[in-house]
Amino acid sequence: MGIEDKVLNKLDFPKVLSRLADECILPRAQELAVGLKPFVDFESVRKALQETEEGKNLLRGNPLFSVRGAKEIRSHIERCLRGGVIHGEELLEVLDTLRVGRKIKQLFLEFIEEFPGLWEIVLPIEPQKELEDEISRCISEDGKVADNASPILSDLRRSLDRLQHRIRETLEGTLRNSTYQKMLQDSIITQRSDRYVLPIKQEYRTSFPGIVHDQSASGATLFIEPMAVVHLGNELREVILREQREVQRILQMLSAQIEARGDAVAELHEALSELDLVVAKAHLSEAMNAGAPELVSGQHVKLIQARHPLILGKVVPLTIELGIDFDTLVITGPNTGGKTVALKVVGLMAAMTQSGLHIPAESDSRMGVFTQIFADIGDEQSLEQSLSTFSGHMKNIVEIINHADGQSLVLLDELGAGTDPTEGAALAMGILAELHERGCRTVSTTHYGALKTFAYETPRVKNASVEFDLETLRPTYRLLIGIPGKSNAFAIAGRLGLSEQVLQKANTFVTEREMQVAGLIENLGETHREIEVEKQIAKSGRQAVEKQTKALEEKTIRLDEEFEILLSLAKDEASELIRRAKREADGLIAELKEALKKDNKQQQDIEKARQGFRRISA
């Protein structure tokens, strides 16, 4: 059982899907986008988020990546599968799509480990290179069957050119003939019903030999095929018919080849559409400045600085958690204070996450997976069913009570409203207690003060409120967890001009306990604001330290790299010095050896001379 459409409509989820569809290229991808439904099992959600993250990584490395070039070819495939024939331009659309599929499959073959989720999407694509080549050979870029599609077609088209040339030559001779020039309405050659004709004045009908094929609207001009070209025209007509039959045969042959590969071509188109959807999710993530939350087991919600993706202009971000320290959150505060928006943000972030969409929130946000999301938001009054607002809400809540469990997220707006305040508050507490006991994760807005006490006294139930600025008499839209809403009726009335005398009389009707509670709430609110300011100061300080630490780390890395470069250069220089010294030493040794050789030779010469002198003396 999936999350119901009526709930997703209340959360404005279809509007998000409409934005997603705008990012798609293929019509099939747009259909997948608007029909996207949240998954309700952990593994499917994990896989969908991984695909979107891989899509963003792909676009970082290749910002222009898309399936652009692929076309909507489902109707073409269907016609071929029924034994029909598709025409030249449609065949070119099939060719373009096949080519895009083949190239994308080749691209991801190189990055299987980097993009395993995207690889799984394109895995069913079977390249159809032979079919591509055949269509490319037979169909020219203008969508017409090419002359070289078959030898027969080539011969027929040469015959056509030859016959048309002969007919034109004959007709041009007629135009130049002085006998016929006075009969011509215009000196032009035109066509009527694939026959070459001349425009002849009506009064020369009997004087000009030929066959009348048409006449002008006024009847003053007759379009006559001269007898001299009738035979050639008949021959031309016969060749045209034969050429048309050959063209039809070639189109049938190509359509039959698509039919034979119909399933593979359809799978290729579907894979491209699914990839287009993932890339659209990545583009939408960039447009919304969104990111993937940490997916956790269990029904947890921790949204940090979450923003409603459809509200334009300056948006006060929402920080909220559920299912960690508490399971039920009761939000009180003034009308138009942002309570309903807070409900929608929680539900919308859950639906987007479970659909594989990134959410506009800080990266340390965490989301669990809910098997059901229930929402009772807005005016449920039905004139057709004669239901009051209260009855409409109760009908919804009865359905929620009947189906909600420990894996459900329940969002209730103005619980118990529309009836007697005492009974309404009691009903609201009973409903919240039942949902709480079942382990549901519940967020409820209310005006009833009794629910504040219920939240204080019930374990794992928390109060919250939307902040109100008494200076401007406007809500700040900031959600304060742990602080129940405070009625600002007296302060607002005073600021708007209600007399102090009336306010004092009104105060006499407020019990001392209620005054104490109001004061306590105000003190809690002030304390909370002071804590938030301190937290912001601490966060800013931590961010500054982290920034400095990162800068120091980068500087250290840079210095290490420079040291390695210098060390490498020094090693290279030392090696060169050693090589140079070795070359010089080798040269000196060679010279020394040469000198020794010369010296030995001189010694030998001296010894020989001595021996000669000795022989002479003897």
The model's pLDDT over 42-54, given as tens digits with 9 standing for 90+, comes to 999 999 999 999 9
Q: Does 29 share its domain with 166? A: no
Q: Are the CB atoms for 485 and 465 separated by under 8 Å?
A: yes
Q: How many CB atoms lie within 10 A of CB 137?
A: 12
- The residue segments making up the domain with residue 223 are 149-246
pLDDT of 384 reads 41
pLDDT in tens, 57-95: 999 999 999 999 999 999 999 999 999 999 999 999 999
Distance CA 204, CA 226 (A): 13
Q: Is 405 left (phi over 0), alpha (psi -120 to 50) or beta?
A: beta
| Collapsed DSSP state (helix, strand, coil) of residue 347 | helix
pLDDT at 258 over 90: yes
pLDDT in tens, 22-37: 999 999 999 999 999 9
Q: Does 267 share its domain with 227? A: no
Distance CA 102, CA 122 (A): 10
pLDDT at 382 over 50: no
User: Among the residues of 177-261, which ranges form H helices?
Assistant: 178-181, 227-260
pLDDT of 533 reads 60
Distance CA 287, CA 570 (A): 50
% of the chain with per-residue pLDDT over 90: 56
Q: Output the average pLDDT for the chain.
A: 86
Q: Is 377 inside any structural domain? A: yes
User: Among the residues of 415-468, which ranges form H helices?
Assistant: 421-437, 450-457
pLDDT in tens, 567-583: 777 777 777 777 777 77
- CA terminus-to-terminus distance, the chain: 134
pLDDT of 42 reads 95
pLDDT in tens, 115-143: 999 999 999 999 999 999 999 999 999 99
pLDDT in tens, 154-211: 999 999 999 999 999 999 998 888 888 889 888 899 998 889 999 999 988 888 899 9
Higher pLDDT, 494 or 216: 216
Q: Does 336 share its domain with 465? A: yes
Both tokens assigned to 344: 């929608």
Q: Are the CB atoms for 303 and 345 separated by under 8 Å?
A: yes
Q: Does 275 share its domain with 311? A: no
Distance CA 31, CA 274 (A): 10
Closest CA to 247 of 158, 163, 138: 138
Top-ranked range on mean pLDDT: pick from 22-31, 458-467, 483-492: 22-31
Q: Does 121 share its domain with 224? A: no
- Please classify residue 386 by burial: count the beta carbons closer than 10 Å to its beta carbon, then call 0-12 exposed, 13-18 middle and 19+ buried: exposed
Higher pLDDT, 610 or 185: 185
- Domain termination residue (choose one: 470, 486, 502): 486
Query: Token match 């005073």: residue?
Result: 494
Distance CA 189, CA 233 (A): 14
pLDDT at 489 over 50: yes
Q: Does 121 share its domain with 191? A: no
Q: Does 370 share its domain with 444? A: yes
Average pLDDT over residues 368-376: 94
pLDDT of 618 reads 54
Q: Does 342 share its domain with 380? A: yes
pTM of the model as a whole: 0.77
What lies within 8 Å, CB to CB, of 185 at 6+ separation is 199, 200, 201, 220, 221
Domains: count for the chain:
3
Residue 191's CATH number: 1.10.1420.10
Calculate helix-pair angle for 42-61, 262-287, nearest 10 degrees. 80
pLDDT of 423 reads 87
User: Among the residues of 27-150, which ranges form H helices?
Assistant: 27-34, 42-61, 74-81, 88-109, 116-122, 129-138
Both tokens assigned to 30: 């747009």
pLDDT of 385 reads 44
Query: Token match 């118990």: residue?
Result: 416
Distance CA 475, CA 586 (A): 91
- Domain termination residue (choose one: 486, 501, 522): 486
